[in-house]
Amino acid sequence: MPNRIFLFILLLVFASSCQQQTKRRSDYLIQGIDVSHHQSWITWSALPNQGIHFAYIKATEGGDLVDSLFQYNWCEAQNVGIRRGAYHYFRPDAPVLDQVLNYIREVDLEPGDLPPVLDVETTDGVTTEQLVERVRAWLTLVEIHYRTRPVLYSYQRFYNEHLAEAFGDYPVWIARFSDQLPELLPLKEWHFWQYGDRGQLVGIQGNVDFNAFAGDPEDLDELLVKPQPQPGKPTVGPTP
């Protein structure tokens, strides 16, 4: 009986540790969150005063799913002055063109927005070679449409096993729920780090993912969507 009681206590301690609240990091200047309908109706006006500088918002998934709160979150983030970005959850077994069209129908990027994100977390049964080919197709078509290089999101192990060698030239947003920094192959630097999924903020019901940006405001500005030149108007050149 004592052994059973001891085991029960250990299980309670383990369960409690798994539920620990994510603490905000103080060693990164630029902090952000990512949200979807799972956070329900967010009071966005409460977030800037809590040091939230950017937010990635789920827009779409697969070939036809649209997050039910995307348009609300998209508009409200802009209204309160938080840098906003939109991500697509990739389904490797769904037609790539359908997924591209699903995203661009919903997401109208403006100058100053964060670049598009492709969230790749599963193979859905396809081979790594097929996965790489389809991910590359989505990234390429979206970059052509928005004239902005997308960001690739994944968790550390999946990125290193399936994506690192093929997409080393893309900005990376990596998930590693740990105090330890992400370790990407081959010695790849990360841009965004999702370091916990149990953050608490006034204005958001339940938990929210916490993220940090590896740089200063000028570095972030380099990633943002830039104004596009107007047809027939040169962007550079001497004044007549």
155: number of Cβ within 10 Å: 16
Beta bridge partners of 188: 184
| The predicted structure's pLDDT at residue 186 | 85
Cα-Cα-Cα-Cα dihedral sign, residues 168, 161, 189, 90? positive
Residue of 106, 121, 133, 143 with catalytic role? 121
Residue located via tokens 């492709």: 118
Beta-strand runs (E) in 51-127: 54-61, 65-66, 83-89, 117-119
Please, are residues 175 and 156 in contact by the beta-carbon 8 Å criterion?
Answer: yes
> What is the number of residues in the chain?
240
Averaged over successive runs of 10 residues, the pLDDT of the chain (240 residues) comes to 50 50 96 98 98 98 98 98 98 98 98 98 98 98 98 98 95 97 92 98 97 97 90 50
* Cβ neighbours around 6 below 10 Å, total: 10
Taking a C-beta distance cutoff of 8 angstroms, is the pair 26, 59 a contact? no
3-state secondary structure of 152: strand
What is the value of pTM for the model shown? Answer: 0.88
Residue type, 37: H
Q: How far is CA 140 from CA 85, 123, 206, 222, in A?
A: 18, 19, 36, 20
Q: Which domains does the chain carry?
A: 27-223 (3.20.20.80)
Per-residue pLDDT at 236: 46
Verify whether residue 121 is a known catalytic residue.
yes
